[in-house]
Amino acid sequence: MNVDYFLGIDCSTQSLTAVLINLSKNEIILRYSINFDEELPHYNTQNGVFSSNDGKVVHSSPLMWVEALELLFKALVQRDLPLNEIKAISGSGQQHGTVYLNNSFEPTLKNLDSEKSLVNQLQSVFTRETSPIWMDSSTTKQCEEIRLKLGGLEPTIYITGSNTFERFSGPQIRKFYEQNYDDYIQTSTIHLVSSFLSSILLGKSSPIDHGDGAGMNLMNIRTNQWDDKALNATAPNLRQKLPALTNSYDVVGKISPFFVERFGFSPETILVAWSGDNPNSLIGVGLTEKGKAAISLGTSDTYFSFMKNLSFDMLGEGHVFRAPTGDFMSLICFKNGSLAREAIKDKFNLNWDEFGEILRKTPPGNFGKIMLPYFLPEIVPLVLEPTVYRFGFDENDMQGNVRGIIEAQFLSMRLHSEWIQEQTEEIYATGGASANKEILQVASNIFNTKIYQFEITNSAALGAALRSAKSYYDSINERINWTELVNRFLKIQDNYIIQPNNKYKKLYDDLLEVYRKCEKFILKNGEDPEQFRKDFVKKYFGN
Q: Does some domain include residue 454?
A: no
Enumerate the β-bridge partners of residue 485. Answer: none
Q: Does some domain include residue 174?
A: yes
**Residue 269 CB-density burial (10 A; 0-12 exposed, 13-18 middle, 19+ buried):** buried
Give start and end residues of each alpha helix (H) in 363-481. 398-415, 437-447, 459-475
pLDDT score for 1: 45
Mean pLDDT is lowest, of 253-267, 307-321, 336-350, 427-441, for: 427-441
E strands in 86-160: 86-93, 98-101, 131-132
Question: Whose CA is closest to 197, among 42, 34, 323?
Answer: 34
pLDDT score for 512: 98
> Greater confidence, 395 or 384?
395
Segment 410-424 mean pLDDT: 95
Q: Does some domain include residue 508?
A: yes
Of 259, 279, 299, which one is at a domain's C-terminal end?
279
Question: Whose CA is closest to 515, among 500, 532, 502, 501?
Answer: 532
pLDDT score for 493: 55
DSSP letter at 495 equals G
pLDDT at 495 over 70: no
Q: Percent of the chain at pLDDT above 90?
A: 87
Q: Are 235 and 362 found together in one domain?
A: no
Going from the C-alpha of 337 to that of each of 41, 67, 346, 377, the distances in angstroms are 30, 33, 15, 11
**Structural domains in the chain (count):** 2
Query: Taking CA 178 as the corner, what is the angle to CA 175 and CA 182, rounded to the nearest 5 degrees?
Result: 115
Of 262, 279, 296, which one is at a domain's C-terminal end?
279
Question: Whose CA is closest to 370, among 397, 351, 348, 334?
Answer: 397
Predicted confidence (pLDDT) per residue in 92-128, tens digit: 999 999 999 999 999 999 999 999 999 999 999 999 9
What residues contact 208, with CB distance under 8 A and at least 6 apart? Answer: 191, 192, 194, 195, 242, 243, 244, 245, 246
Q: Does some domain include residue 139?
A: yes
Q: Does some domain include residue 465?
A: no
Please tell me the distance from the alpha carbon of residue 105 to that of residue 91, in angstroms, as a whole number. Answer: 20
Torsion on CA atoms 239, 240, 246, 252, rounded to nearest 10: -170
Q: What is the pTM of this model?
A: 0.92
Segment 205-215 mean pLDDT: 98
Q: Are 191 and 272 found together in one domain?
A: yes
**Residue 459 CB-density burial (10 A; 0-12 exposed, 13-18 middle, 19+ buried):** buried
* CATH number of the domain enclosing 382: 3.30.420.40
Q: Are 279 and 248 in contact (CB under 8 A)?
A: yes
Predicted confidence (pLDDT) per residue in 50-63, tens digit: 999 988 899 999 99
Q: What strand order describes the sheet that includes 292-297?
A: 319-322, 328-334, 301-307, 292-297, 426-430, 450-453, 497-498
Q: Are 517 and 401 found together in one domain?
A: yes
Up-side HSE of residue 322: CA atoms within 13 Å toward CB? 26
Please tell me the distance from the alpha carbon of residue 38 to that of residue 484, in angstroms, as a whole number. Answer: 38
Please tell me the distance from the alpha carbon of residue 275 to that of residue 502, in angstroms, as a whole number. Answer: 39
Q: Does some domain include residue 286?
A: no
pLDDT at 2 over 80: no
Q: Are 162 and 49 found together in one domain?
A: yes
What residues contact 370, with CB distance under 8 A and at least 6 apart? Answer: 390, 391, 392, 404, 407, 408, 511, 514, 515, 518, 533
Please tell me the distance from the alpha carbon of residue 474 to that of residue 480, in angstroms, as a whole number. Answer: 7
Segment 485-513 mean pLDDT: 88
Q: Are 246 and 140 found together in one domain?
A: yes
Q: Which domain holds residue 158?
A: 5-279
Please tell me the distance from the alpha carbon of residue 469 to that of residue 8, in angstroms, as a whole number. Answer: 10
Segment 260-288 mean pLDDT: 96
Q: Does some domain include residue 302?
A: no
> Greater confidence, 476 or 493?
476
Give start and end residues of each alpha helix (H) in 222-300. 228-234, 238-241, 257-263, 277-284
Q: Is 190 helix (H, G, I), strand (E, B) or coil?
A: strand
Question: Whose CA is closest to 389, among 184, 193, 533?
Answer: 533
Q: Are 380 and 527 found together in one domain?
A: yes
Predicted confidence (pLDDT) per residue in 58-93, tens digit: 999 999 999 999 999 999 999 999 999 999 999 999
Please tell me the distance from the alpha carbon of residue 68 to that of residue 66, in angstroms, as a whole number. Answer: 5
End-to-end, the C-alpha distance of the chain in Å comes to 71
Q: Where residue 494 falls among pLDDT bands split at 50, 70, 90? A: low
Q: Are 343 and 252 found together in one domain?
A: no
Q: Phi and psi at residue 178, in whole multiples of 5°? A: -75, -40
Q: Are 410 and 266 found together in one domain?
A: no
Burial 149-164 (b: 16+ CB within 10 A, else e): bbeeeeebbebbbbbb
Q: Are 266 and 369 found together in one domain?
A: no
pLDDT at 248 over 70: yes
Q: Does some domain include residue 19?
A: yes
Q: Are 153 and 247 found together in one domain?
A: yes
Q: Is 35 helix (H, G, I), strand (E, B) or coil?
A: strand
pLDDT score for 458: 85
Going from the C-alpha of 233 to that of each of 344, 385, 466, the distances in angstroms are 44, 30, 37
pLDDT at 457 over 80: no
Question: Whose CA is closest to 386, among 401, 394, 374?
Answer: 374
DSSP of 514-537: HHHHHHHHHHH-----HHHHHHHH
Please tell me the distance from the alpha carbon of residue 260 to that of residue 84, in angstroms, as a whole number. Answer: 8
pLDDT mean across residues, the chain: 95
Question: Whose CA is closest to 5, among 341, 314, 221, 270?
Answer: 270
Q: Are 274 and 342 found together in one domain?
A: no
Question: Whose CA is closest to 513, among 542, 536, 537, 539?
Answer: 536
Q: Is 29 helix (H, G, I), strand (E, B) or coil?
A: strand
What residues contact 271, with CB distance under 8 A and at least 6 apart? Answer: 88, 89, 90, 198, 201, 202, 206, 251, 252, 253, 254, 255
Q: Are 94 and 211 found together in one domain?
A: yes
Going from the C-alpha of 378 to that of each of 63, 102, 293, 340, 385, the distances in angstroms are 33, 38, 22, 11, 8
> Greater confidence, 26 or 8?
8
Q: Phi and psi at residue 46, in whole multiples of 5°? A: -120, 115
